Amino acid sequence: MTGLIITFVICTCLLSLSISNYLLLKTATTFFHLSLWVNVVICNIISYVNYNFEIILFLFYISRFRSFFKRFIIITKL
Q: Quote the distance between the C-alpha of residue 20 and its chain's center.
A: 24
Query: Using an 8 Å Cβ cutoff, are 5 and 51 in contact?
Result: no
Residue 13 binned pLDDT confidence (cut-offs 50, 70, 90):
low
Q: Tell me the pLDDT tens digit for each residue of 15-59.
A: 666 655 555 555 555 556 666 667 667 766 776 766 667 777 777
Whether the Cβ atoms of residue 11 and residue 44 lie closer than 8 Å to each other: yes
pLDDT band at 61 (very low <50, low <70, confident <90, very high): confident
